[in-house]
Each structure stands twice: as structure tokens, then as C-alpha cells.
Amino acid sequence: MEIVSTQQRKKIHPHKFTLWVAIGSIVMMFAGLTSAYIVKSQQASWQAIVIPKIFWYSTATILLSSLTMQMALRSFKDREMRRYRMLIAITTALGILFVVLQYFGFQQLWDSGITFRGSSAGQFLYVISGLHVLHVLGGVIALIVMFIKAFFGLTKNYSSVPVELISTYWHFVDVLWLYLFVFFMWIG
């Protein structure tokens, strides 16, 4: 009996496994897109892009949200529900702020003449960053659902799996943005 329960504890939760498969797929997609960006950037007609300063603020925002997400996860596991609610609310607000800052950053790029129809660099930038924003919006929606459940949920579920899933995903989109930000600053 003890062997069976030990084996069950070593198994990965099916939702976590699915998330990791999805993350692997997303990583491959962005690796392919950034590789194509590097190859295309060697063309003579390539126009370098200067990244607006507002992206530094959005980067700091998503880093801070990753910290608050980790603290929320810890609070949930420690059954500090009041602190968890506060931290999940802050994380949700920071996630929304990140999207808003991204919008303003891309608006600045557009206003400076870097449009989707203009240069290849602009096209790649909008496609790659747009795909990232879609993934962040998915994370923000999940955070909003967690927020609603934390404050208005009628059933009390103390399984940490949902919080662990959103935490893992949120850290992933954070690291992905860091990669893209450094990539566009260095290669762009």
C-alpha cells in the first residue's frame, strides 16, 4: 500500500503535464520566429528598430507581477487566504498594466513610422510581440478567473494545483518577455 501511494506522489498532475507540453510548443514557435528574424535581419534593406523606453517599464511591471504571483502561491499553500487574495489582486492588476504599457509602447513605434506595412523588422516585431501579448492576455484572463474565485467563490477548494498552474504559466510568459525584450534590444 505504501509503494502505491509513493508512486502516486511521484506522478505529475495531468494538467501540469499538459501545461508543460504547451509551454514546449510555445517555446518552439518563438524560437522559430526569432530565428527567422535573425536570418532576415541580414538583408541589406533591413531597418533597425529602436525600442521605446516604455518597454523598460512594462518589463519591470511583468517582473514585479511574477514576484507577486510567487508570493500569492506561497500564501495559498500556507493557507494565508487574506494575503493570497491581496497578492492575486495585485498580480492581476500588474498583468493588466503590462498589457496597457505594451499598447502604449507599440503606439509609440507606430507613430515613429514603424508599421506593419513598412519594414520587415516592423512586421516581425509586431507578429512576435503580438503573439506574446496574446499569451499574456490568456494569462490575464486566468488571473481574473483566479481573482474572482478568490473573492467570490462559493466553494472552498484548497487544492493548490490551479494556483500552481497559473503561477507556472505566468512565470513562463514573464521569462518569454524577458527573452524577447533582450532579443529586440540586442538584435533589433
Q: Is residue 123 part of a domain?
A: yes
Residue 5 pLDDT greater than 70, yes or no: no
| Residue 91 domain flag | yes
* pTM given for the model: 0.87
**27 in any annotated domain:** no
Between residues 112 and 94, the one the model is more confident about: 94
Whether 29 shows a pLDDT value over 60: the answer reads: yes
Does residue 34 lie in a domain region?
no
- pLDDT, averaged across the chain: 89
pLDDT of 188 higher than 80 = no
Q: Say how many domains are in the chain.
A: 1
Confidence check: pLDDT of 104 > 90? yes
State the burial class of residue 89 (Cβ atoms within 10 Å of its Cβ: 0-12, 13-18, 19+).
Answer: middle
- What CATH number does residue 95 fall under? 1.20.120.80
Picking from 14-18, 64-68, 139-143, 184-188, which range would have the lowest pLDDT averaged per residue? 184-188
Backbone angles phi, psi at 13, to 5 degrees: -60, 140
Domain limits at 57?
53-186
> What is d(CA 175, CA 11) in angstroms, rounded to the nearest whole number?
26
For residue 85, tell me if it sits in a domain.
yes
Q: What secondary structure does DSSP assign to 5-43, as a single string? A: HHHHHHSPPHHHHHHHHHHHHHHHHHHHHHHHHHHHTTS
- Check if the beta carbon of residue 19 is closer than 8 Å to that of residue 169: yes
183 grid coordinates: 532579443
Spatial contact of 188 and 55, defined as CB atoms under 8 Å apart = no
Residue 30 placed within a domain: no
What local confidence, expressed as pLDDT, does residue 2 receive?
59
Question: Looking at the domain assignment, is residue 42 inside a domain?
Answer: no
Across 163-167, average pLDDT: 95
Flag whether 36 is in a domain.
no
Which of 35-49, 52-66, 110-124 bottoms out in mean pLDDT, i.e. has the lowest? 110-124
